[in-house]
């Protein structure tokens, strides 16, 4: 089984355990809400029982005060309190409708309440009719007290029943919670272990990929170095071999011209020889300009920009603000190659007739900006260049690799007004040496 398959298997198993943990957590949450609802229901029943007892006691007290004083305002309050007593009874009935035992007790409670209310109404009627006597009111009070005692015992029984149900529900919920918590903890533990395994496998894959990328990068750097060396060797061979042969041929043709003065064919051959010498020199210097080694990037860039403008017809505005200092040989070569490739891409793809080149030193960075005023890049091409690599051509990939090798960054921006290439490279200066004045090689427009 490959490492990728192992990593995917570990991830799938971890997700399964995580799903189990989520289900267990949801189940525990639902049970908790149910438990809270039952607890609140029990509290509501007990509160209703307490409110009933309080209201019934207040109704009895108002009845006694009215019998003693005959105040009609007390009678109105007593009537309103009796209505509240019946309202409390209705609430108790509704809250205990799911419990048969409590419903049986409620029926007894309702009967006792109606008997108690009937006795209070009887006492009030005697008082209002003027037939009230101490003995009659005392007899009624004794009956009301007896009913009140039975009511209190019945209320306590119903309250205790609610407490028992509450304890039973809490015990069952605690047991269910422990089981759910155990499942949740085990699922999370196994999910964590599998995620760690998956992470380790991914780390190994990333490490292998980084190792492969480093090897590929080292190979690319080596290939770029060999390419520069080969360009330099080939440029030297063109200059020293082909260039010398062409120069010798021109000398021979010059001698022949003196002997055949005015011969048109000889003149044409001399012109072809001059063009070939100039072309050979241009190709040699484009492969590796000697100005770059002898006079530095400033002079080499100006020579190349002037020749590029003649060959391509693209007007290039060059601004150099480097203080005339010489960068390290590696940085100068990288910046010159970026300049070459950047202007070449402008000529090939942008359709621009004007471009701007800025070379400046800012802090500890050397910044090269190449901007055209052409059509810009399509969005998908720009996205590919930024995030997927320069798969459209070798030139941009080579530029990126060259800049990366000197710890720099290459940015590519594009819009409706054109594209911009920005190379940022950490500044490295070479020791100051006395340079020889070298004249820029002549260009032949093509």
| pLDDT at residue number 235 | 64
| pLDDT at residue number 322 | 67
Span 279-333, pLDDT tens digits? 776 776 667 677 677 778 888 888 888 888 888 888 889 888 866 678 888 888 8
Closest CA to 292 of 235, 237, 358: 235
For the segment 181-191, the average pLDDT, to the nearest whole number, is: 80
Q: What's the pLDDT band for 189 if we cut at 50, 70, 90?
A: confident
For the segment 37-45, the average pLDDT, to the nearest whole number, is: 85
Confidence (pTM) = 0.50
Do residues 60 and 148 make contact, with C-beta atoms less than 8 angstroms apart? yes
Report the 3 state secondary structure along the chain.
Answer: CCHHHHHHHHHHHHHHHHHHHHHHHHHHHHHHHHHHHHHHHHHHHHHHHHHHHHHHHHHHHHHHHHHHHCCHHHHHHHHHHHHHHHHHHHHHHHHCCCCHHHHHHHHHHHHHHHHHHHHHHHHHHHHHHCCCCHHHHHHHHHHHHHHHHHHHHHHHHHHHHHHHHHHHHHHHHHHHHHHHHHHHHHHHHHHHHHHHHHHHHHHHHHHHHHHHHHHHHHHHHHHHHHHHHHHHHHHHHHHHHHHHHHHHHHHHHHHHHHHCCCCHHHHHHHHHHHHHHHHHHHHHHHHCCHHHHHCCHHHHHHHHHHHHHHHHCCEEEEEEECCCCCECHHHHHHHHHHHHHHHHHHHHHHCCCEEEEEEEEECCEEEEEEEECCCCCCHHHHHHHHHHCCCCCHHHHHHHHHHHHCCCEEEEEEECCEEEEEEEEECCECCCCCCCCCCCCCCCCC
Two structure tokens written together for 419? 């594209």
Least confident of 110-119, 144-153, 359-368, 376-385: 376-385
Judged against a pLDDT cut of 60, whether residue 392 lies above it is answered with no
| pLDDT at residue number 111 | 92
Rounded to 5°, the CA angle 427-433-437 comes to 110
Least confident of 91-105, 174-188, 356-370: 174-188
Judged against a pLDDT cut of 70, whether residue 87 lies above it is answered with yes
Judged against a pLDDT cut of 50, whether residue 86 lies above it is answered with yes
Question: What distance in Å separates the CA atoms of residue 249 and residue 255, rounded to the nearest whole number?
Answer: 10
Domain locations in the chain?
3-200, 291-446
| pLDDT at residue number 325 | 72
| pLDDT at residue number 443 | 45
Segment of 10-24, 174-188, 222-236, 351-365 carrying the highest mean pLDDT: 351-365
Least confident of 92-96, 105-109, 195-199: 195-199
- Backbone dihedral angles phi then psi of residue 42, each to the nearest 5 degrees: -60, -45
Closest CA to 127 of 71, 58, 57: 71
Question: What distance in Å separates the CA atoms of residue 107 and residue 223, rounded to the nearest whole number?
Answer: 99
Q: Quick one: 414 exposed, middle or buried, by C-beta within 10 A (0-12, 13-18, 19+)?
A: buried
For the segment 389-407, the average pLDDT, to the nearest whole number, is: 70
For the segment 192-209, the average pLDDT, to the nearest whole number, is: 84
Span 405-421, pLDDT tens digits? 888 888 888 877 888 88
For the segment 81-91, the average pLDDT, to the nearest whole number, is: 91
Segment of 27-36, 128-137, 272-281, 348-357 carrying the highest mean pLDDT: 348-357
Matching CATH number, 291-446, of 3.10.129.10, 3.30.565.10, 3.40.50.300, 3.30.465.10 = 3.30.565.10
Stronger pLDDT, 56 or 429, i.e. the higher one: 56
| pLDDT at residue number 30 | 80
| pLDDT at residue number 108 | 92
Average predicted confidence (pLDDT) for the chain: 80
Two structure tokens written together for 132? 């009230």
Question: What distance in Å separates the CA atoms of residue 293 and residue 343, rounded to the nearest whole number?
Answer: 21
């Amino acid at each position: 089984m490959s490492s990728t398959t192992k990593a995917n298997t570990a991830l799938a198993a971890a997700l399964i355990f995580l799903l189990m943990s989520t289900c267990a957590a949801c189940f525990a949450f639902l049970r908790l809400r149910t438990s809270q609802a039952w607890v609140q229901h029990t509290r509501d029943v007990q509160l209703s029982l307490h409110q009933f007892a309080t209201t019934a006691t207040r109704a009895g007290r108002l009845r006694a005060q009215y019998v003693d004083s005959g105040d009609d305002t007390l009678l109105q309050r007593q009537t309103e309190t009796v209505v509240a007593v019946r309202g409390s009874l209705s609430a108790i009935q509704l809250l205990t409708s799911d419990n048969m035992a409590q419903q049986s007790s409620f029926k007894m409670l309702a009967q006792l309440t109606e008997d108690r209310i009937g006795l209070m109404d009887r006492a009030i009627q005697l008082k209002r009719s003027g037939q009230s006597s101490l003995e009659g009111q005392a007899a009624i009070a004794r009956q009301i007290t007896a009913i009140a005692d039975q009511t209190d015992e019945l209320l306590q029984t119903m309250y205790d029943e609610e407490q028992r149900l509450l304890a039973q529900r809490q015990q069952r919920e605690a047991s269910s919670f422990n089981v759910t918590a155990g499942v949740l903890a085990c699922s999370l533990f196994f999910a964590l272990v599998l995620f760690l395994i998956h992470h380790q496998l991914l780390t190994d894959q990333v490490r292998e990929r980084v190792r492969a990328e480093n090897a590929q990068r080292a190979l690319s750097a080596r290939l770029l170095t060999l390419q520069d060396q080969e360009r330099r060797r080939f440029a030297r061979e063109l200059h020293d071999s082909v260039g010398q042969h062409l120069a010798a041929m021109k000398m021979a043709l010059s001698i022949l011209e003196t002997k055949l003065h005015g011969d048109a064919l000889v003149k044409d051959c001399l012109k072809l020889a001059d063009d070939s010498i100039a072309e050979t020199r241009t190709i040699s210097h484009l492969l590796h300009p000697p100005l770059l080694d002898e006079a530095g990037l400033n002079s080499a860039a100006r020579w190349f920009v002037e020749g590029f403008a003649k060959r391509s017809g693209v007007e290039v505005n060059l601004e150099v603000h480097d203080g005339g200092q010489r960068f390290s040989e590696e940085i100068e070569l990288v910046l010159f190659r970026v300049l070459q490739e950047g202007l070449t891409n402008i000529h090939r793809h942008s359709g621009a007739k004007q471009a701007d080149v800025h070379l400046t030193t800012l802090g500890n960075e050397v910044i090269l900006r190449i901007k055209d005023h052409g059509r810009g890049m399509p969005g998908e091409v720009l996205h590919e260049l930024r995030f997927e690599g320069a798969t459209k051509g070798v030139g941009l990939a080579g530029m990126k690799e060259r800049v990366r090798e000197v710890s720099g960054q290459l940015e590519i921006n594009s819009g409706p007004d054109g594209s911009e290439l920005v190379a940022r490279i950490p500044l490295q200066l070479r020791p100051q040496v006395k340079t020889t004045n070298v004249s820029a090689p002549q260009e032949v427009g093509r």
